[in-house]
Structure 1
Amino acid sequence: MTTFLTPRQLADRTSAAVEAAVSASRALGLTVGEPAVLHDVFSVVVHLAPSPVVARVPTVLPDPNDLAALARRQQDELDVTRWLDEQGVPVIAPSPLVPPEPVQRNGFSMTFWTFVEENRDEEPDYVANAESVADLHAALRTYPGRPEFLSAADPQFIADSLDRLDRHPTLIGAAELDRARREWQALEPLVRSRAAFEARFPGIGLQPLHGDSPAANVFPGVAGHLHADFELVTLGPVEWDLAALGPDHRAAYDRGARRNGSRPLDDDVLGFVDALGMIRVVAALTLVPQLPRLWEYLKPAMEQWKRMG
């Protein structure tokens, strides 16, 4: 039987995350009077007012007890965003008021960012954002860090989730789960092995990537747009950052790529990352008990996947 967190438990988790962020930030010398929660989905994002600092505290995780693995990924994000900011790329940068490293407190691991005022009157233009991703990729090509190959896909999370999803019959039926396992069996070697990927897709270069649909993670600041949320920074084909986006978005990316001298998207690789993205949706069902409203986000993608079968 699947047990979902109750509204009271979710509220208590948010309160605990805010308390941890306030406690950690004060220990770092920040002044915090009126903390304000800006977002609360996979992470609690809290403005530590009056300090111009935002804490991001992940709360929905494949393994909430493995803070060491989370901190490694958080350090990768801090490193790449600090480097991009130094190159003049428009990003939400780590706060200069605290050391650029994850901080653990009360069972949470958090990072600290520069507070940027949001333009709440602006509607997102994901097609225009997709074109700007080509420029982000051009900047990332010279990033000196060494992200892991397709770590954003989190193949171990997929494998573990597919192994235990039969405990969640209310979320996925047996036939659909069998299909997902067969599809993953075909995809897994290309995700686990860079050599296998390069043999299957010869000539497709790999580079550092945002990792988590950057066209959907452009922050509308009052002073301009900023790339944000590099939590899944990874090494891979540029197509990974365009997975599951439609033809208009992909055409916009190609316009940006032609403008800056980059290669256009490859249809075969797009097919691969789209299939991998759908299996990640299935795997994410194991997170629904931690975040019940996640089902409403996953349901349309699940219905699409079922129609494709």
Structure 2
Amino acid sequence: MEPSEVRRAVEAAGATASALGLQVGDAVVVHNSDRIAVRLIPCDVLARVAPLSLHDGQGQAGMEFEAEVARRLAETDSPIGELEPRVEPGVYLRDAFAITLWTYYEPVVADRQGGTAHEQPGMSTDLAPADYAHALVRLHAGLRKIDLAAPHITARIAGWAEGVGDPEQTPELRDRDRELVSDTLSRVSAAISRWGSGEQLMHGEPHPANVLSTRRGPLFIDLGTCQRGPVEYDLAYVPDEVAEHYPGANQDLVHQFRLLMWAGVTTMRWNRNDQYPNRDYWRIETLNQLRAALDRYGLD
């Protein structure tokens, strides 16, 4: 969001929480892209705020879906960041924004000298690969227990293909890079369709930015990306050493999905409406990561 919109969004979040009886004296933005996450103090609530004008499942409908996923997963004891228990779960509307309220978890980082854990606001640490993988196994187990309509990964792949194939959506993407991304999406999609792997409800983007290290252990957030497909799709978003700890995963399929993932993320960063922080850097970085993945894994 632009600074003027961020200010309005923060005010809307604070006013919403106050109207629900939560004490709000200050607010700290902890993430800003097409929607923001803001920590409300001293009630220690994390508000997620999106403009109602957002499309592509990111606005009110997307936040309603995310809240419903969280509500159902909370009944399965899954490792997730939970909705704020002091208010009714759901989406609140104020000043052209959709707002959801969540529990705020203080990050836990390892003490490099003593080997103990302590809390430091605003900091995070890499999880041990085995712990990360075990948490994802538990999340997938919880997702198998809930019955929820969610898009199939093929719908997202089709959206990526449309975006990279339409210069009006990605006007600044060079022709040679457009061809590289489009060819990767097409060839990998054709290859993975022949694997015949089992499918289930998945997180959709369980990358390190979407898993918190807390005193309760690893907790996954940003549940609005849930989709249906093979668990190897989720594993494409985690580091290699984490995927290797996931029991029973087809690592060759993970590699193919990783190619697909980098092609898709590249498409999103080059979209003319993308508001990801430091977008210019990530436009180049995602292309570099795609080329590195192609050199490493090739196209099967």
TM-score, scaled to structure 2: 0.78
CA pair 184-224 structure 1, distance change in 2 beyond 3 A: closer
Mapping of residues 153-232 of structure 1, within 5 Å: 153=156, 155-156=158-159, 158-164=161-167, 168-169=171-172, 172-186=173-187, 197=193, 200-202=194-196, 204-232=197-225
Q: Point out the more displaced range, 133-142 or 295-304.
A: 295-304
Mapping of residues 9-88 of structure 1, within 5 Å: 10-58=2-50, 64-66=53-55, 70-88=59-77
Q: Distance in 1 between matches of 2:254 and 2:288?
A: 20
Structure 2 unaligned blocks of 5 or more:
109-119, 296-300
Q: Which has the higher strand share?
A: 2
Instruction: Specify which of 231, 236, 241 is matched with residue 229 of structure 2.
Output: 236
Q: Distance in 2 between matches of 1:152 and 1:101?
A: 26
Residue 163 of structure 1 and its aligned partner are, at CA, apart by: 0.6
Q: Point out the more displaced range, 264-273 or 204-213.
A: 264-273
Structure 2 partner of 1:101:
90
Residue 270 of structure 1 and its aligned partner are, at CA, apart by: 2.0
Structure 1 partner of 2:290:
305
Matched, 1:130 2:122: no
For the 8 Å contact 2:127–2:213, the answer to whether it is kept is no
Instruction: Specify which of 268, 278, 281 is matched with residue 293 of structure 1.
Output: 278
Residue 206 of structure 1 and its aligned partner are, at CA, apart by: 0.9
For the 8 Å contact 1:151–1:232, the answer to whether it is kept is no
Residue 173 of structure 1 and its aligned partner are, at CA, apart by: 1.7
Residue 302 of structure 1 and its aligned partner are, at CA, apart by: 0.9
Instruction: Specify which of 241, 266, 278 is matched with residue 282 of structure 1.
Output: 266
Q: Please, what is the CA RMSD of the aligned residues? A: 3.1
Q: Distance in 1 between matches of 2:42 and 2:135?
A: 32
Q: Distance in 2 between matches of 1:223 and 1:103?
A: 28
Residue 283 of structure 1 and its aligned partner are, at CA, apart by: 1.1
- What secondary structure sits across from 2:26 in the alignment? coil
For CA contacts below 8 A with separation 6 or more, give which structure has more relative contact order: 1
TM-score, scaled to structure 1: 0.76
Structure 1 unaligned blocks of 5 or more:
1-8, 192-196, 258-263
Q: Point out the more displaced range, 275-284 or 27-36.
A: 27-36
Report the AA paired with residue 127 of structure 1: P
Report the AA paired with residue 99 of structure 1: E
- What secondary structure sits across from 1:117 in the alignment? coil
Report the AA paired with residue 89 of structure 1: S
CA pair 151-95 structure 1, distance change in 2 beyond 3 A: farther
Q: Which has the higher helix share?
A: 1
Matched-pair identity in %: 25
